């Protein structure tokens, strides 16, 4: 072989073309014809995502509609024995729920479950808040409910019935041995033992009757208290003959007008007052028993002769009509002044 035959011409191409490396390193440069179009890829990806979401929404919507149909069928089957009006109302409610679900899916694309669909009533009604009533400080959340009701309904209300006044006097005398909650729980028992607190009937109690009451475990009063009740009933009848009624006698010590103390704090409420001492002395002079100044003042409080509700208590004005009228007059004057100012007329 010659030397000329061993060398190939420079212009002759190789049988295998090698890849051309670019300036960035060993990364292969892809030709423009083989490079994918980004816009086409994004469009295809968006179409695929939208299709998937629509399929999921359609599937969820079908599941939800099937559930509503099963619920409506179950409610219709269970209410076959009820009236036609109730069936129609249940169907309307289910239809309204289905419309709300369909509209929610179309507008926002969010599937609302059956438990989340509301009839609209819960959104219209405001949340209920407990009503807090301000009472006297000695009535606390832990107080006996019967005692709280007694405070709200009876204590401090002016009483003018003779039998009722006699009852409150006897209950006030029992405070020396019992508390108000204990007395109130035994109030019905006391009414049966003392013939509904009728002074005419109690005044006729004999010694045998008194001993029977003493032996009874229901009385809860000692023998001196029981004898005092009978004696006070006799003296009450004498007072009725002299003053016309026991009511006139009791209210004569305050000139037939309720005393309004207007205390703000419980520590300001007294145990006895000069008025109570005067009434106590007069009662003892007439032959009443167990009627000390403290007992008499408790009687004046519960009978409404004295209004010792705190001014912050809601019962303060309710137990005194004159206070309520004064408040209404002040409110009326204020509104009148505002009306005159609004009309550019100066009040006199």
The closest alpha carbon to 72, from 88, 61, 51, belongs to 88
185 is an annotated ligand-binding site residue: no
Give the Cα-Cα-Cα angle 257, 263, 265 (nearest 5 degrees): 155
User: Is residue 256 annotated as involved in ligand binding?
Assistant: no
For the chain, how long is the longest CA-to-CA vector?
170
Pairing of strands 306-307, 259-260: parallel
Tell me, what DSSP letter sits at residue 309?
S
Beta strand segments in the chain, E: 259-260, 306-307
80 is in an annotated binding site: no
Three-state SS sequence of 80-148: CCCCHHHHHHHHHHHHHHHHHHHHHHHHHCCCCCCCCCCCCHHHHCCCCCCCCCCCCCCCCCCCCHHHH
183 touches 146 (CB < 8 A): no
Q: Confirm whether residue 160 is marked as ligand binding.
A: no
Q: Which residues are annotated as a binding site for Zn(2+)?
A: 136, 151, 309, 313
Q: Which residues are annotated as a binding site?
A: 136, 151, 309, 313
């Amino acid at each position: 072989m010659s030397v000329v035959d061993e060398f190939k011409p420079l212009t002759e191409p190789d049988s295998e073309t090698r890849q051309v490396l670019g300036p960035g390193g060993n990364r292969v440069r892809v030709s423009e014809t083989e490079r994918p179009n980004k816009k086409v890829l994004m469009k295809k990806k968006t179409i695929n995502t939208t299709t998937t979401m629509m399929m999921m929404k359609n599937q969820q919507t079908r599941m939800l509609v099937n559930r509503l149909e099963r619920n409506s069928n179950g409610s219709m089957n269970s209410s076959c024995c009820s009236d036609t009006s109730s069936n129609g109302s249940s169907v309307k409610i289910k239809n309204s729920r289905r419309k709300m679900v369909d509209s929610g899916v179309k507008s926002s694309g969010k599937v609302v479950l059956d438990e989340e669909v509301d009839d609209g009533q819960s959104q219209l009604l405001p949340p209920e808040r407990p009503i807090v009533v301000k009472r006297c400080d000695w009535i606390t959340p832990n107080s006996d409910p019967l005692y709280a009701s007694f405070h709200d309904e009876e204590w401090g209300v002016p009483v003018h019935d003779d039998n009722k006044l006699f009852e409150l006097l006897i209950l006030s005398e029992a405070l020396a041995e019992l508390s108000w909650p204990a007395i109130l729980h035994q109030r019905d028992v006391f009414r049966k033992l003392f013939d509904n607190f009728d002074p005419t009937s109690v005044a006729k109690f004999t010694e045998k009757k008194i001993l029977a009451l003493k032996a009874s475990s229901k009385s809860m009063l000692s023998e001196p208290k029981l004898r005092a009740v009978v004696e006070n009933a006799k003296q009450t009848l004498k007072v009725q003959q002299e003053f016309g009624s026991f009511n006139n006698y009791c209210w004569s010590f305050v000139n037939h007008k309720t005393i309004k103390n207007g205390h703000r704090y419980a520590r300001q409420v007294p145990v006895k007052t000069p008025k109570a001492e005067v009434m106590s002395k007069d009662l003892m002079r007439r032959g009443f028993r167990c009627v000390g100044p403290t007992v008499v003042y408790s009687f004046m409080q519960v009978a409404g002769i004295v209004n010792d509700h705190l001014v912050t208590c809601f019962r303060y004005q309710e137990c005194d009509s004159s206070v309520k009228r004064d408040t209404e007059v002040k409110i009326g004057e204020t509104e009148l002044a505002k009306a005159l100012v609004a009309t550019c007329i100066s009040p006199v």
